[in-house]
Structure 1
Amino acid sequence: MTDRMMFYGAPTTVFKKARMLRFSMTPAERHLWARLRKNQLNGFRFRPQHPISEFVVDFYCHKAKLVVEVDESYHENPKQKEYDENRDHILKEFGLIILRFTDKQVLEETESVIQTIINCLPAPEVTKR
């Protein structure tokens, strides 16, 4: 699979937005990133603020086709909820799995969040000798 395939046709403008967002992560995103970075979850690589099509997702594991979103309180707004649902629908059409957690869950229930993410990762590959 080529690197371009993991971006699902994201245009240059979305790459620029993603780069900017990496430098302005919320406290909850930074907290979760500390647990996802450097292949800490069963060797799976996560990317922060990753461009996919016209969107930037909070975290993405290409090998597992897993998107992890950390939602702040404004995601409770009805218009934002509708936007998120439409966005999730589009991402699911790419065959992606989407997990959403509130910032409160990430900060206060970190181990539960991590376990939920691990449960969505494929089983480690067994190598034959």
Structure 2
Amino acid sequence: MRGLRFIETRRSRELRRDATSAEKIMWGRLRNRNLGGFKFVRQEPIGPFIADFVCRECKLIVEIDGETHSNQEEIAADVRRSDYLNAQGYQVIRFTNQQVYENADAVAEAILAALSRRPGLITRAPHPASPRLRREEFTPSPARSSPLPPASPPRRGGARRSPPSAHGSLRAR
């Protein structure tokens, strides 16, 4: 099914490329399992809608609303959208761009609190590759003495090749 949604995929890619500054700020907080070890994706197609940020595992959608979500028509559309997504089993939480600009930490804490209230959720430790996890906090498994992967063996072989010249692929006939 994933490969059959060409239009939605193209639109999602456009939205990721043209993200608002508030979305970029929040993506910096949510990406790479930075928030409590939970995996988020951005601009995810769900039915006829594209959600800003989604934690698929917890079925939580985070929407960052800009100025266009302030008139009655847009508010009604947001309610219909949230009703549809709730019927699909998702919880939708909304924040304004202004909330993200003024206190992104509080927004991240509210998201984490919403994640912790989801039913059937197992409390998570930060992902080992998370940038929030300091090296001294990482304890390697007994089978491995170093948290880093083993270095690749040195290359064997003849002399190094020099890069081809501008006409290196053309041969005189």
* TM-score after normalising by structure 1: 0.86
2:33 partner SS: coil
The whole-number CA distance in structure 2 between the counterparts of 1:125 and 1:36 is: 15
Q: What's the counterpart of residue 83 of structure 1?
A: 77
Q: Does the CA-based 8 Å contact 2:36-2:124 persist in structure 1?
A: no
Structure 1: give runs of 5+ residues left out of the alignment.
none
**1:57 aligned onto 2:56:** no
Residue 93 of structure 1, CA deviation: 0.2
Structure 2: give runs of 5+ residues left out of the alignment.
116-120, 126-173
What are the Cα deviations for residues 45-67 of structure 1, in whole angstroms up to 9, with x where unaligned? Answer: 00011111111110000011000
Residue 125 of structure 1, CA deviation: 5.3
Q: Between Structure 1 and Structure 2, whose CA radius of gyration is higher?
A: 2
> Residues 115 and 125 from structure 1, CA distance in 2 versus in 1: closer, same or farther, beyond 3 angstroms?
closer
**1:20 aligned onto 2:14:** yes
The whole-number CA distance in structure 2 between the counterparts of 1:89 and 1:20 is: 25
In angstroms, what is the RMSD of aligned CA positions? Answer: 1.7
> Residues 123 and 109 from structure 1, CA distance in 2 versus in 1: closer, same or farther, beyond 3 angstroms?
farther
**1:105 aligned onto 2:99:** yes
Residue 90 of structure 1, CA deviation: 0.2
More helix by percentage: 1
- Between the two proteins, the alignment pairs up a number of residues equal to 119
* TM-score after normalising by structure 2: 0.65
The whole-number CA distance in structure 2 between the counterparts of 1:95 and 1:74 is: 26
Q: What's the counterpart of residue 28 of structure 2?
A: 34
Percent identity, please. Answer: 34
Moved beyond 2 Å, runs of 4+: none
Q: What's the counterpart of residue 47 of structure 1?
A: 41
2:38 partner SS: coil
